[in-house]
Homo-oligomer: A and B are copies of this chain.
Amino acid sequence: MGGQRQIRQLTRQQAMRKLASVPVGHIVFTERALPAVRPVNHILDNGQVIISSHDGAAIVDLTSSDHATVVAYQADQIDPATHTGWAATITGLAHLINDPQQAARHRRALHPWITGAMNHIIRIDPQIITGYEQTADTPAATP
């Protein structure tokens, strides 16, 4: 039958590879007790997700406090026409990077889609990593 789809869970490594394969994802956090989400560019560095943000951004205020801030970071690629695609999410602590040299190195690698001075670099340590992929069903390739 055509049109069948198969969904499978991604391993941690597969989910991280999917994240690394796209430039934009979603940072998800809690702002004044409300769920909040922003699309941002990311890079992966040594297994950690690196994003940048601007002065006054809620996520900068949250991560510059002394409290640990738990965030989710998610990316996906979904084809609404074929109903295939994947989604990958990490959950973990977000930290503002205070070391100027480290921040400068990440800033050079990041290319934010949004215009403006992205002065602040945030690192997210993945503690929970999940993902799934839905593909068009193809006959099993067992010989």
Let me know if A37 and B115 touch, CB within 8 A.
Answer: no
B residues near A34, Cβ cutoff 8 Å = 70, 72, 91, 128
- Specify how many copies of this chain sit in the oligomer: 2
B72–A113 CB distance below 8 A: no
**Which residue of B is nearest A91, CB measured?**
B34
Task: Please give the number of chain A residues whose Cβ is less than 8 angstroms from any Cβ of chain B in the complex.
Answer: 37
Known: A28-B28, A39-B78, A74-B26. A115 touches B134 (CB 8 A): yes
In whole angstroms, what is the CA distance A115 to B7 when docked?
7
Known contacts A28-B28, A30-B30, A113 near B80 by CB under 8 Å: yes
CA A29 – CA B34 in complex, angstroms? 9
Contact B29 A35 (CB under 8 A): yes
Question: In whole Å, how far is A78's beta carbon from the nearest beta carbon of chain B?
Answer: 5
Q: Are A23 and B72 in contact (CB under 8 A)?
A: no
Q: List 22 A-B contacts (CB under 8 A).
A: A7-B116, A24-B80, A29-B35, A30-B35, A34-B70, A34-B72, A34-B91, A35-B71, A36-B72, A37-B37, A37-B72, A37-B89, A39-B74, A39-B87, A78-B113, A80-B111, A83-B112, A83-B113, A83-B114, A83-B115, A85-B113, A114-B134
